[in-house]
């Protein structure tokens, strides 16, 4: 049996899935002041009367780290960088415990300025004296040669509880994002560690011994012990939970749009042939642009509780929200009130109040209230579809760097929409009239996010850079730097990438028999100096695709695996 | 949070799968380390800097500028359609107000491509700046354009295209043609009779450093551009003046390029040459982008930058000053000179041999322009090559006066199709491109 739990802004959703299918589901209010209780309450709701020994997998998606970042409740972190030519890294994010040391590498990882190691103990001491317990070290081009970062981390280690190194998190070239990513990892580390150790301990005491898995924003999970190396990979996992919940129902061979309609916003993602598209660079949260792998999502300020207005004779919806719908005691008219007037709300809604709320709008539009409700509803759907088109246009205008890709010019256009979230049913019906393709609600759409958590498989990524002129290979995030021979080839590089990826995936909790690995980027350049070929410059990126665990049958919605 | 002072647009198209030949300087690897540096600096993440996907130019775009023999698809690869398209994308974004500055970081380059194209010369097939400019003129009605070519090689193709056009100021700074390909670009190359003085060549001595380049920009380029009052300034931004460039002999540096970019304040820069792919391009391109976006580049240096090594010698400084003075003097005399060359009405003729070094083609060209005080003049080109091509081309400029237009149409009408394989008409007043073919 598997438990999936997703902490949301208002509710926390929990499901229990077994060989009999979805056997229990629950919604508990999220208490941000006590997330720990929220999580345990949620778990208790679905384990009532169940032999918890039979629970083999437990996947959590929480807003713990997201909230720390958004509410700026991060502890002091020491950041030390070494940069060389370029933009002054101090400009990227002003920081009270920021230090710069001399030392620089170039684009091929060659040292162009030796690292000033003498300064580091002095910096370490200053951090210690200021009570800073966590630190991050980042150098420019560390993904091509992590040596400077390693030496910096070693020099600071005696003064700090944990030092994070930039090259551990992503093989991508982007120094500012590497700084932000390293900073966030160091900053959320203590809370993340404390929280999940506490949860794990409590569960163990109740007899639930399976290791906790945590959902990531790329739609995959990782085991708690692995997450201690990448604690910031738990930030913004919410949207990916919903997408994974919809994924089982996305038809293969199609391009599907997943639309999650909430109270305040509508979040969207795109599935191509059942696989979510990932963001090009990484998540962005508050002032931080990071290299944290994430699904490509787009959020617009249209939801069931968005404020409806008439401006210049036209209806506008959102992007703001002022409490709940009038039908539920709020003070501003909302799309939910429109549903209510149209007789589409649940029994708790006050239809009279909803109609009163829409009356001024109807008056301004000079139409009956019923007609106004119809128009509001339509307008909300139109805004959602426009938002979706904007996202698709953005995906299609992604720059490419080869003639081949330009000529091929792959463009996506969704032909299928999967709707989830509270008002999924009402919206799906209307969207179907406005969209040229199939529109369906996701089964169990009210808890699809928790189902997504439960069923997400383990994902990870590996990047390799090989330079046969320098005879070196580095897989920065895997802590591997080794000598290669001058005849090292792309094939060798791919083999190593896939081997390292497999090892990493298993370490993070993947099932060895059902790994869906793929090479997502590969390039090879002959390096010519004068008129001689001096070597090859090879870059390979490989990933375990986000997807559902092996052994779940979406048709019967049952688990077909004995070990789960 | 770091943000750009000026909204800056970039098209980055390194054509990672295109080369003239495997070991040619214009090969797949050329912009690889530039990409590494630009990505690692996180330039595309900076608020106010936007990366655009390049569009493709159309055949019509190409034929608005060139006479391709026999046609564009015969002399262009897909990659030329994209690199010219990248320039056009930046031009369009600028004209539509999406950006204030733009840089087309694309390859292959274009500034050695003439109006008539039989093949590749100086690594160029079509003139990507000219195609962009003529698109902007056609689509947005822009008239006066200044092109400042800061590639180390004389921008002879651009010079050829705008030789007769008084609405285009073409200034080229380059290493003295006596010491470098293409061997042209001397002070006395000043433009045709209808545009004399609007082509300005400033040949710089080998070993010119930051000091000399910035002196030239401040004391010759900027005063002339200012007086010309262009609606748009385009920079053909070649990066082969760098001290580490393997095929030239100059001593310019990344910081100097950034400074030049700031001083020039061009609306659009288009990448041209530059073949020090590891030692220069990553740093020069980053410097140019930072300068365009208005970011602080004061601490920006190449790792091996040593000012003493590339310090400018006094005789070089003297020579630069003399050249700049001479260029300014010629510019100031342009009206007098125009009076002299236009005193004889009628037609002006020039005959040239043009060598296509990349493709090994020898072209023989006779060009006749109608001397005109009112427009760029009707232009007739008779071009033949050692590969047995023989064509006649008639160009009627966008602002052609009545007489010149009639002259151009008459030339096209009267030309006997039996004497040429093809006869082309490029009538810019109606944006018409027409071809008469030899009957077989």
Domain assignment of residue A506, given as a range: 461-544
B347-356 and A461-467: which strand pairing? unpaired
The reply to whether A82 and A225 lie within a common domain is yes
pLDDT tens string B125-176:
999 999 999 999 999 999 999 999 999 999 999 999 999 999 999 999 999 9
Reading across the β-sheet that carries A2-7, which strands appear in turn?
A21-29, A11-18, A2-7, A57-61, A212-215, A221-223
The reply to whether B290 and B166 lie within a common domain is yes
> Chain A: nearest CA to B145, how far in angstroms?
29
Residue B115 has pLDDT above 90, yes or no: yes
Based on the structure, what is the number of domains in chain B? 2
User: Which residues from B are below 8 Å from A285, CB to CB?
Assistant: none
The reply to whether B103 and B238 lie within a common domain is yes
Answer yes or no: do A86 and B40 touch at CB < 8 A.
yes
> Chain B: nearest CA to A429, how far in angstroms?
36
The reply to whether B262 and B379 lie within a common domain is no
Answer yes or no: do B29 and A404 touch at CB < 8 A.
no
Answer yes or no: do A88 and B299 touch at CB < 8 A.
yes
> Chain B: nearest CA to A122, how far in angstroms?
25
Choosing from B290, B318, B335, the residue where a domain stops is B335
The reply to whether A224 and A255 lie within a common domain is no
Mutate to test the interface with B, among A89, A95, A107, A469 (most CBs of B within 10 A): A107
In the DSSP assignment, the letter for residue B274 is -
Out of B1, B16, B41, closest to residue A87 by CB: B41
Mutate to test the interface with B, among A82, A83, A85, A534 (most CBs of B within 10 A): A85
Residue of B66, B80, B111, B112 marked catalytic:
B112
Answer yes or no: do B40 and A397 touch at CB < 8 A.
no
User: Which residues from B are below 8 Å from A112, CB to CB?
Assistant: 303-304
What does the alpha-carbon distance between residue A543 and residue B161 come to, in Å, rounded to a whole number? 50
User: Which residues from A are below 8 Å from B88, CB to CB?
Assistant: none
Residue B206 near residue B249, CB atoms below 8 Å: yes
Where is mean pLDDT largest: A202-211, A251-260, B426-435?
B426-435
Answer yes or no: do B303 and A113 touch at CB < 8 A.
yes
Answer yes or no: do B303 and A85 touch at CB < 8 A.
yes
The reply to whether A228 and A259 lie within a common domain is no
Q: What angle do CA A138, A142, A143 make, to 5 degrees?
A: 125
Report the CATH number at residue B152: 3.40.800.20
What does the alpha-carbon distance between residue B72 and residue B120 come to, in Å, rounded to a whole number? 12
Whether A535 maps to a domain, the answer reads yes
Whether A31 maps to a domain, the answer reads no
The reply to whether A150 and A273 lie within a common domain is no
Residue A94 has pLDDT above 80, yes or no: no
pLDDT tens string A23-75:
999 999 999 889 999 999 999 999 988 888 899 999 999 988 998 998 889 99
The reply to whether B188 and B218 lie within a common domain is yes
The reply to whether A290 and A437 lie within a common domain is yes
pLDDT at A343: 87
Residue A342: phi, psi to the nearest 5?
A: -85, 5
pLDDT band at B300 (very low <50, low <70, confident <90, very high): confident
pLDDT at A407: 87
Q: In sequence order, what DSSP letters do the residues of A177-242 get, joined into one string?
A: HHHHHHHHHHHHHHHHHHHHHHHHHHHHHHT--SPEEEE-TTS-EEEHHHHTT-GGGGTT-HHHHH
A306-311 and B232-237: which strand pairing? unpaired
From the CB of residue B299, how many other CB atoms can be counted at a distance below 10 Å?
11
Choosing from A183, A212, A236, the residue where a domain stops is A236
Out of A93, A173, A530, closest to residue B40 by CB: A173
Answer yes or no: do B39 and A174 touch at CB < 8 A.
yes
Residue A392 has pLDDT above 90, yes or no: yes
pLDDT tens string B319-370:
999 999 999 999 999 999 999 998 888 999 999 999 999 899 999 999 999 9
Answer yes or no: do B29 and A406 touch at CB < 8 A.
no
The reply to whether B280 and B398 lie within a common domain is no
User: Which residues from A are below 8 Å from B284, CB to CB?
Assistant: none
The reply to whether B37 and B168 lie within a common domain is yes
The reply to whether A401 and A491 lie within a common domain is no
Whether A450 maps to a domain, the answer reads no
Smallest CA–CA distance from B40 into chain A, residue: A174
The reply to whether A358 and A481 lie within a common domain is no
Choosing from A441, A475, A505, the residue where a domain stops is A441
Residue A552: phi, psi to the nearest 5?
A: -100, 130
User: Which residues from B are below 8 Å from A92, CB to CB?
Assistant: 2, 42
Out of B29, B45, B51, closest to residue A525 by CB: B29
* Nearest by Cα to A136 from A168, A108, A174, A112: A168
Bigger pLDDT: B222 vs A50: B222
Out of B52, B78, B303, closest to residue A84 by CB: B303
pLDDT at A89: 83
Paired with B94 in beta bridges are: none
pLDDT band at B440 (very low <50, low <70, confident <90, very high): low
User: Which residues from A are below 8 Å from B106, CB to CB?
Assistant: none
Whether A399 maps to a domain, the answer reads yes
Whether A513 maps to a domain, the answer reads yes
Q: How many angstroms from the chain centroid is the CA of residue B427? A: 22
Q: Is B80 a catalytic residue?
A: no
Q: What three-state secondary structure class fits B271?
A: strand
pLDDT tens string A449-489:
999 999 999 999 999 999 999 999 999 999 899 999 999 99
- Percent over 70 (pLDDT), chain A: 100
A86 touches chain B (CB under 8 A): yes
Q: In sequence order, what DSSP letters do the residues of B93-158 get, joined into one string?
A: HHHTTS-SEEEEEESS--TT--SEESS-BTTBSS-HHHHHHHHHHHHH----EEEEE-SSS--HHH
Whether A39 maps to a domain, the answer reads no
Mutate to test the interface with B, among A106, A286, A396 (most CBs of B within 10 A): A106
> Chain A: nearest CA to B149, how far in angstroms?
25
Residue A88 near residue B296, CB atoms below 8 Å: yes
Taking each helix axis as running N to C, give the angle between helix B334-341 and helix B314-332, from 0 to 180 degrees, rounded to the nearest 10: 60
From the CB of residue A110, how many other CB atoms can be counted at a distance below 10 Å?
16
What does the alpha-carbon distance between residue A115 and residue A151 come to, in Å, rounded to a whole number? 9
Report the CATH number at residue A109: 3.40.50
Smallest CA–CA distance from B16 into chain A, residue: A402
- Percent over 90 (pLDDT), chain B: 95
From the CB of residue B131, how many other CB atoms can be counted at a distance below 10 Å?
28
- The residue-averaged pLDDT of A525-533 equals 89
Residue B316 near residue B208, CB atoms below 8 Å: yes
Answer yes or no: do B2 and A87 touch at CB < 8 A.
yes
pLDDT band at B439 (very low <50, low <70, confident <90, very high): low
Q: In sequence order, what DSSP letters do the residues of A162-181 get, joined into one string?
A: EEEEGGGT--S--HHHHHHH
pLDDT band at A9 (very low <50, low <70, confident <90, very high): confident
The reply to whether B425 and B317 lie within a common domain is no
Choosing from B292, B310, B335, the residue where a domain stops is B335
Out of A84, A281, A403, closest to residue B82 by CB: A403
User: What global pTM score does this model have?
Assistant: 0.94
- Percent over 90 (pLDDT), chain A: 80
In the DSSP assignment, the letter for residue A161 is S
Q: In sequence order, what DSSP letters do the residues of A313-373 get, joined into one string?
A: TEEEEEEEE-SSBGGGT-SB--HHHHHHHTT-S-TTS-HHHHHHHHHHHHHHHTS-HHHHH
The reply to whether B325 and B386 lie within a common domain is no
Residue A109 near residue A473, CB atoms below 8 Å: no
The reply to whether A191 and A257 lie within a common domain is no
What does the alpha-carbon distance between residue B46 and residue B38 come to, in Å, rounded to a whole number? 11
What does the alpha-carbon distance between residue A225 and residue A231 come to, in Å, rounded to a whole number? 10
Answer yes or no: do B23 and A104 touch at CB < 8 A.
no
Bigger pLDDT: A96 vs B318: B318
Helix (H) or strand (E) holding A385: helix A369-396
> Chain A: nearest CA to B278, how far in angstroms?
8
From the CB of residue B351, how many other CB atoms can be counted at a distance below 10 Å?
10
pLDDT tens string B71-101:
999 999 999 999 999 999 999 999 999 999 9
The reply to whether A89 and A211 lie within a common domain is yes
Domain assignment of residue B433, given as a range: 344-437
User: Which residues from B are below 8 Å from A141, CB to CB?
Assistant: 36, 40
Residue B43 near residue B300, CB atoms below 8 Å: no
pLDDT at A323: 85
Report the CATH number at residue A333: 3.30.420.40
The reply to whether B325 and B405 lie within a common domain is no
The reply to whether A513 and A373 lie within a common domain is no
Whether A34 maps to a domain, the answer reads no
Choosing from A173, A208, A236, the residue where a domain stops is A236
The reply to whether B261 and B400 lie within a common domain is no
pLDDT tens string B13-69:
999 999 999 889 999 999 999 999 999 999 999 999 999 999 999 999 999 999 999
Smallest CA–CA distance from A86 into chain B, residue: B300
The reply to whether B385 and B304 lie within a common domain is no
Taking each helix axis as running N to C, give the angle between helix B78-95 and helix B128-140, from 0 to 180 degrees, rounded to the nearest 10: 40
Q: Dihedral angle at the C-alpha atoms of B107, B111, B114, B118, nearest 10 degrees? A: -30
What does the alpha-carbon distance between residue A440 and residue A435 come to, in Å, rounded to a whole number? 11
Whether A4 maps to a domain, the answer reads no
Answer yes or no: do A528 and B22 touch at CB < 8 A.
yes
The reply to whether A153 and A73 lie within a common domain is yes
Answer yes or no: do B302 and A397 touch at CB < 8 A.
no
Based on the structure, what is the number of domains in chain A? 3
The reply to whether B205 and B312 lie within a common domain is yes
pLDDT at B361: 95
What's the number of CA atoms in the CB half-sphere (13 Å) around residue A36?
13
What does the alpha-carbon distance between residue B240 and residue B233 come to, in Å, rounded to a whole number? 21
Mutate to test the interface with A, among B34, B36, B42 (most CBs of A within 10 A): B42
From the CB of residue B275, how many other CB atoms can be counted at a distance below 10 Å?
22
The reply to whether A222 and A272 lie within a common domain is no
> Chain A: nearest CA to B136, how far in angstroms?
22
What does the alpha-carbon distance between residue B147 and residue B169 come to, in Å, rounded to a whole number? 6
* Nearest by Cα to B377 from B403, B344, B339, B350: B403
Which residues 377-406 of chain A have a CB within 8 Å of chain B? 397-404, 406
A57-61 and A21-29: which strand pairing? unpaired
């Amino acid at each position: 049996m598997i438990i999936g739990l997703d902490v949301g802004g208002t509710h926390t959703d929990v499901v229990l899935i077994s060989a009999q299918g979805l056997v229990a589901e629950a919604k508990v209010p999220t208490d941000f002041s006590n997330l720990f209780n929220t999580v345990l309450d949620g778990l208790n709701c679905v384990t009532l009367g169940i032999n918890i020994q039979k629970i083999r997998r437990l996947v959590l998606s929480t807003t713990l780290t997201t909230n720390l970042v958004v509410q700026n409740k991060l502890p002091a972190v020491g950041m030390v960088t070494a940069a060389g030519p370029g933009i002054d890294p101090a400009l990227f994010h002003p920081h009270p415990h920021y230090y710069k040391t001399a030392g620089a590498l170039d684009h091929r990882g060659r040292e162009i300025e030796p690292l000033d190691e003498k300064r580091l103990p002095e910096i370490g001491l200053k951090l210690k004296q200021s009570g800073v317990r966590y630190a991050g070290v980042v150098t420019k081009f560390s993904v091509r040669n992590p040596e400077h970062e390693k030496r910096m981390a070693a020099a600071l280690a005696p003064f700090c509880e944990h030092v994070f190194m930039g090259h551990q998190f992503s093989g991508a070239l982007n120094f500012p994002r590497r700084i932000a990513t390293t900073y966030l990892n160091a900053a959320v580390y203590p809370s993340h560690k404390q929280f999940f150790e506490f949860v794990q301990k409590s569960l163990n005491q109740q007899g639930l011994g399976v290791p906790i898995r945590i959902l990531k924003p790329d739609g995959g999970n990782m085991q708690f012990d692995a997450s201690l190396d990448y604690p910031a990979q738990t930030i913004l996992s919410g949207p990916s939970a919903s997408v994974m919940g919809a994924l089982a129902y996305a038809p293969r061979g199609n391009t599907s749009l997943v639309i999650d309609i909430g109270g305040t916003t509508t979040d969207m993602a795109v599935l191509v042939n059942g696989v979510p598209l990932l963001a090009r660079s990484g998540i962005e949260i508050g002032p931080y642009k990071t290299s944290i792998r994430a699904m490509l999502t787009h959020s617009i300020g249209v939801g069931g509780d968005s404020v409806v207005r008439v401006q210049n004779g036209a209806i506008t919806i959102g992007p703001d929200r002022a409490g709940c719908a009038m039908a539920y005691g709020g003070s501003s008219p909302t799309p939910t009130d429109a549903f209510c007037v149209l007789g589409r709300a649940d029994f708790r809604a006050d239809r009279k109040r909803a109609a009163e709320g829409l009356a001024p709008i109807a008056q301004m539009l000079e139409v009956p209230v019923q007609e106004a409700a119809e128009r509001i509803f339509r307008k909300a759907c139109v805004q959602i579809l426009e938002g979706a088109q904007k996202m698709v246009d953005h995906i299609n205008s992604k720059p490419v760097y080869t003639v081949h890709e330009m000529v091929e010019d792959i463009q996506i256009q969704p032909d299928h929409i999967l709707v989830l979230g509270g008002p999924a049913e009402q919206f799906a019906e209307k969207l179907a009239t406005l969209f040229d393709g199939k529109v369906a609600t996701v089964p169990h759409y009210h808890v699809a996010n928790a189902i997504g958590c439960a069923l997400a498989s383990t994902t990870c990524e590996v990047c390799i850079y090989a330079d046969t002129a320098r005879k070196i290979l580095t897989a920065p995030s895997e802590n591997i730097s080794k000598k290669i021979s001058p005849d090292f080839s792309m094939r060798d590089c791919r083999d190593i990438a896939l081997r390292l990826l497999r090892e990493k995936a298993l370490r993070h909790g993947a099932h060895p028999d059902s790994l869906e690995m793929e090479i997502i980027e590969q390039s090879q350049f002959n390096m010519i100096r004068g008129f001689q070929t001096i070597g090859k410059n090879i870059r390979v990126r490989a990933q375990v695709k986000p997807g559902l665990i092996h052994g779940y049958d979406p048709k019967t919605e049952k688990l077909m695996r004995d070990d789960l | 949070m770091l943000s750009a002072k000026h909204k800056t647009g970039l098209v980055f198209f390194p054509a990672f799968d295109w080369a003239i030949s495997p070991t040619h300087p214009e090969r797949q690897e050329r912009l690889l380390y530039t990409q590494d540096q630009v990505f690692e600096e996180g330039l595309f993440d900076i608020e106010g800097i936007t990366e655009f996907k390049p569009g493709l130019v159309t055949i019509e775009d190409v034929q608005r500028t060139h006479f391709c023999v026999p046609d564009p698809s015969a002399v262009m690869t897909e990659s030329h359609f994209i690199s010219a398209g990248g320039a056009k994308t930046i031009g369009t974004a600028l004209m539509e107000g999406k950006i204030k500055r733009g840089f087309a970081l694309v390859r292959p380059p274009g500034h050695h491509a003439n109006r008539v194209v039989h093949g590749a010369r100086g690594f160029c097939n079509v003139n990507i700046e000219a195609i962009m400019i003529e698109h902007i003129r056609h689509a947005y009605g822009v008239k006066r354009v200044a092109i400042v070519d800061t590639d180390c090689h004389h921008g002879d193709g651009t010079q050829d295209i705008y030789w007769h056009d008084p609405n285009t100021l073409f200034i080229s700074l380059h290493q003295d043609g006596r010491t470098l390909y293409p061997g042209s670009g001397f002070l006395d190359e000043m433009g045709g009779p209808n545009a004399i003085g609007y082509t300005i060549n400033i040949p710089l001595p080998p070993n010119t450093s930051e000091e000399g380049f910035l002196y030239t920009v401040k004391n010759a380029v900027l005063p002339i551009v200012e007086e010309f009052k262009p609606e748009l300034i385009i920079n053909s931004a070649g990066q082969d003046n760098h001290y580490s460039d393997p095929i030239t002999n100059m001593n310019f540096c990344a910081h100097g390029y950034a400074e030049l970019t700031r001083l020039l304040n061009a609306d659009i820069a288009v990448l041209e040459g530059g073949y020090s792919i590891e030692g220069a391009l990553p740093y020069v391109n980053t410097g140019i982008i930072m300068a365009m976006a208005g970011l602080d580049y004061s601490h920006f240096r190449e790792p091996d930058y040593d000012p003493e090594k590339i310090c400018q010698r006094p005789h070089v400084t003297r020579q630069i000053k003399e050249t700049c003075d001479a260029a300014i003097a010629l510019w100031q005399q342009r009206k007098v000179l125009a009076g002299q060359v236009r005193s004889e009405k009628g037609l002006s003729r020039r005959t040239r041999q043009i060598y296509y070094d990349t493709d090994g083609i020898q072209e023989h060209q006779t060009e006749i322009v109608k001397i005109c005080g009112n427009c760029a003049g009707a232009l007739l080109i008779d071009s033949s090559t050692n590969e047995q091509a023989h064509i006649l081309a008639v160009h009627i400029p966008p602002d052609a006066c009545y007489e010149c237009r009639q002259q151009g149409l008459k030339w096209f009408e009267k030309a006997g199709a039996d004497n040429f394989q093809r006869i082309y008409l490029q009538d810019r007043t109606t944006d018409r491109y027409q071809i008469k073919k030899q009957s077989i």
